[in-house]
Each structure stands twice: as structure tokens, then as C-alpha cells.
Structure 1
Amino acid sequence: MEARPAIRVEAPAVPAKKEGQLPVEQPELKMNAKSVNLWYGDAQALFDVSLEIFDKSVTALIGPSGCGKSTFLRCLDRMNDVIEGVRITGDIRLDGDDIYAPNVDPVQLRARVGMVFQKPNPFPKSIFENVAYGPRIHGLATSKTDLEEIVVHSLTKAGLFEEVKDRLQEPGTGLSGGQQQRLCIARAISVNPEVLLMDEPCSALDPIATAKIETLMDELKESLCMVIVTHSMQQAARVSQRTAFFHLGKLVEVDETTRIFTNPTDQRTQDYVTGRFG
């Protein structure tokens, strides 16, 4: 198999600190996973994964197929709860609170930690109702006017409103693939999540739609903590500030994205990003 070309990422120049200058503000820790193990029945899929995830930034999870990226992502909003035979050990916290504590309602957790899946999955409802669904069931709107404002704001934030403003009562399933994915993002952010998880959000999209989603990610990170799973190392290099490399269910290495692609510390990471395997 032909090796992929190495990903070239230019590390940004760090200006010298001037006398009397305030220190650069450190990102705030939003989620923290410690020693996470997961089994599907008797088969272990994650091995002792520990990862810090910071607010107002994008963390990319990369690695070969079947390495545990998506499995770990689903741990962050307890989506694995719905899979029979799954067992998880370890500790995952959101703002310091254990998301697997007995008193945590997974539905309320998923309002705080939204998710966008690999394949666009709009509800078989109108564009308006797709976005209005979450705010309505979570009681975020006290009137029809409030609900309309939330829908317009969410579609605008997802970069979709201008394209669909005259079609809000038409089915969401009638949109193009890229528009459907942005509709799913609008639906996810309509309940004001603090974290947005994205599992291969562009794998089914053409390059133009992918570019729109990546621009959207860049804008959303100003107000959200984001974690994306991607097979595209070019995408990870473009949109993320930190990158975590998974292999065979283990977190091999995590660091600033520029360092992962230009000067990784683990040989397995080096081999993967230069195309020697994967």
C-alpha cells in the first residue's frame, strides 16, 4: 500500500515575553478522564485511557480504524450506556463532577455534552422542528417567540439560516448532505451545550461541505469545548489545538497538534502520521 505523505504543520512563532507583560492565559480544564477501561462483553476495547480536555478549544482524536477513538468519545456523554454488555471503569469528570455518578441523569448530561454523528441524522420533521425539539423538551423556551429566536440563532450559528430561511417548514431530510450535517449541529447547539462531540462529522461530505463544517468548528470553539474524531490527519491539523493518538485501545500520546505532527515523542505516533501504517 502506498504510504501517505507526511503532514506538514507550521508551528506558530511564540513571541518573546516582554518585561511587565501579563502571562498567557492557560486554557481551562473542562473534562478529565482518568484510567478509563471499557469492555464489550469479554473483549476489552479501551485500556487505562487518561485525557485532559480543555475549554474553548478543539481536541482531535486520531488513529487507525478500530483503535478506540469513537468508543472513548461515546464515554464522554455516556452514549455507551445504551449498548448491551458494555462495562466501564475509571473516572470521567465534567467541571469536576463525576458524570457516571448514580445521581446523574444521562439525558440531562447529553444536553450539556452534545454529539454530532458521522452520518447526518436529521429527524423526519421540518427543519424548524429539528432544531426546536431539544429546547422544547428541555423547557428552554417559555413562548413561541422564544422558541423561534432559539431556532433562528442556532441555524445562524451553524451557518445554515440564510440557506433555509424560506424553507423552515420543509423536511430536514430534503437538504443536501452538508446542509443536513449543519442542521444536526444546529440541533445539538440549540440547547446551549458546554461540550460538543463530533464523530467523523465530515467523512460522508464533499470537500466544499467539509470546508464549511471546518470553518464552523473554528467559530464554535470560541464558546465551546469540542472533541472530534477524525481519520483525516489534514483535518486534525487544520482545526484542532490538541491531538490525541490512539492505537489498539490505548492512548499513546497527546500534545499540542503542531508537536504531534512535527515532533512526536512516541515512535508509533511518528509512524502513523508519516503514513507507515494505518
Structure 2
Amino acid sequence: MIDTIIPTTTEAAEPVTADGTPKMSARDVSVFYGPKQALQSVSVDIHDDKVTAFIGPSGCGKSTFLRCLNRMNDTIPAARVTGDISLDGQDIYASKMDVVQLRARVGMVFQKPNPFPKSIFENVAYGPRIHGLADGKNELEAIVEKSLKRAGLWDEVKDRLQESGTALSGGQQQRLCIARAIAVDPEVILMDEPCSALDPIATAKIEELIHELRGRYAIAIVTHNMQQAARVSQRTAFFHLGEMVEYGRTKDIFTNPREQRTQDYITGRYG
């Protein structure tokens, strides 16, 4: 049973209201799958210089909400999203929004590593190539190297770039997927339980990577692991039964929650 989780964060003790203009802002977002409502009136801000964690028990709606942030729910015919979500003040659900470009700006890393059945190099080069981000082979090679370095993978794979990405270990595959996401120079990175299929050593490397990427990208992460949320995030939103119960500074959520349901969850009474 978990009594108290104290985040290991170095952020200054500033109020949540002093965060400044958010990179992404969600207001009263609800999601329906046919007649069933999966998410009810969620409002959250995601900032450039902070990692935002979404926690809560299975089926609470946290991954459903994450998928709203780059319109991944569009791929589900029965899904309907209401409310407002903006990126730099622009409505991402506006009819004029280019969804392909949106997903380049708001990248996603999934629960299970999903490298393409291509070489390590081609996994990372794919996005920049189709989006026309590289002028020639040399620039493409530079993007691949920079992305692998930012993902903490370059030193491990620099001599085997033509080998299949699927031949890497699970933790390496997940870092390759992160390299693939950042190769198109996104502004936001969404991570849906990126460590749930990894061993503790690989998990530690991903968490270290999240710390390194913070500030370079706005990051939102869904996790079942409360200790992980405490370690990597500066803001936390707690979801339960399709509602966002509480959102605030990670330290406050884990040590002085305002809501009884939050207190019950972090102390292990349910979940």
C-alpha cells in the first residue's frame, strides 16, 4: 500500500495560476463512443516547460483524453468529441485544420513499441522524408543523427543503422519510436504509458529521457505508475470514471490533494 509519494522535482514553489500561456489548452472536453459517454467536461492546460501526467485507474478516460490532443479518436468511427482544444490558440478541431500536419506538430508514443519493419535509419527518416523536411541525403542523415542523439540511442545504434528496428530490445525500440516522433520537429509529445511493457532498467532510461526532453517539447504522459508520475512530472491530472477529478502541481496532488477521491487513490484505497 502506498502511503505518500513525494515527487523528486526541483521546480520552484509557484502557484498553478502563474504558469503563463499554455501550449495546449482543453476546455470542457467530452468524448462519446456512440451513445456511451467516456469522458465528461475535462479542462487541462499543457505547458512548454512542464511535463503533465495523467493518472487514474484503468478505464478512467486518461488515454481517451490523450488521444483527443492529436485527434487520434478521429480514427474511431463511433467517436465524437465536444468542447474546445487549442494548440497555440488555434482550434485543432476546426474544419480548416490539416490533421496530418497536426499529428506532425503533436507527436505520439504508444504503450507498446511499434517500430516500422524497416531499418533503424528508415524508421527515423520516414517522417522527415514524407513531410519534406530534408533537402538531400546529407540533411536527412543529420536529422536522423540528431533525433537518435536526443532519444539517447545514437551511441547504441550508430554502427548498425541499416539493421531492422524490430531487432532492437524493447527499451531501445521505445526510444527509437521517440526518435521517430521528434524527427519531424514536433511541438508537443504525447506518451501513452510508454514504460508499461519495459523492464526497470529500460524504464529508468525513458524517464531520464523525459527529463532531458522537457523544455524542448511540451510533454503529456499517461501512466498507471504513480511513482513514475511523481518522478517525471511537474503537473498531474487525476482521472476517475470519466471525470478529471483534480489537476494541479504534482507535489500538491501527491502530498496535499484537495479531493477525497484523489486522496483515496494515491493512498491505495482503490485503483
**TM-score bin, normalised by smaller chain:** over 0.9
2: CA distance between counterparts of 1:156 and 1:27? 30
Instruction: Give the aligned partner of residue 253 of structure 1.
Output: 246
Deviations 1:33-81, CA, capped at 9 Å, x for gaps: 0111111111100001111111121000000000000000000000000
Change (3 A) 1:116 1:10: closer
2: CA distance between counterparts of 1:34 and 1:132? 35
Deviation at 1:6, TM superposition (A): 3.1
Instruction: Give the aligned partner of residue 175 of structure 1.
Output: 168
Letter in 2 for 1:174: A
Select which of 3, 6, 13 maps to 2:4: 6
2: CA distance between counterparts of 1:83 and 1:157? 32
The percent identity for this pair of structures is 69
Gaps of 5+ in 1: 17-24
**Structure 1 ranges of 4+ moved more than 2 A:** 3-6, 8-16, 25-28
Change (3 A) 1:124 1:11: closer
1: CA distance between counterparts of 2:55 and 2:72? 20
Change (3 A) 1:118 1:11: closer
Q: Which moved more, 1:200-209 or 1:48-57?
A: 48-57
Alignment coverage as a number of residue pairs: 268
| Secondary structure class of the residue paired with 2:42 | strand
The yes-or-no answer on 1:47 pairing with 2:47 is no
Change (3 A) 1:270 1:218: same
Letter in 2 for 1:9: P
| Secondary structure class of the residue paired with 2:161 | coil
Select which of 75, 78, 86 maps to 1:93: 86
2: CA distance between counterparts of 1:9 and 1:40? 35
2: CA distance between counterparts of 1:12 and 1:29? 20
Change (3 A) 1:8 1:161: same
Deviation at 1:5, TM superposition (A): 4.1
Instruction: Give the aligned partner of residue 21 of structure 1.
Output: none
Instruction: Give the aligned partner of residue 262 of structure 2.
Output: 269
Letter in 2 for 1:185: I
Instruction: Give the aligned partner of residue 197 of structure 1.
Output: 190
1: CA distance between counterparts of 2:267 and 2:259? 13
After TM superposition, list the pairs within 5 Å mapping 1:109-120 onto structure 2: 109-120=102-113
Change (3 A) 1:155 1:64: same
Letter in 2 for 1:85: A
The yes-or-no answer on 1:161 pairing with 2:154 is yes
Letter in 1 for 2:236: T
Structure of larger gyration radius: 1
Deviations 1:99-137, CA, capped at 9 Å, x for gaps: 000011111000000000000000000000000000000
Deviation at 1:28, TM superposition (A): 3.6
RMSD across aligned C-alpha pairs, in angstroms? 1.6
The yes-or-no answer on 1:65 pairing with 2:58 is yes
2: CA distance between counterparts of 1:43 and 1:237? 32
2: CA distance between counterparts of 1:174 and 1:11? 35
Deviation at 1:9, TM superposition (A): 3.5
Change (3 A) 1:12 1:115: closer
| Secondary structure class of the residue paired with 1:110 | helix
2: CA distance between counterparts of 1:269 and 1:158? 33
Gaps of 5+ in 2: none
Task: Report the TM-score when normalising by structure 1.
Answer: 0.93
Deviations 1:144-177, CA, capped at 9 Å, x for gaps: 0000000000000000000000100000000000
2: CA distance between counterparts of 1:13 and 1:55? 14
1: CA distance between counterparts of 2:180 and 2:114? 10
Letter in 2 for 1:52: D
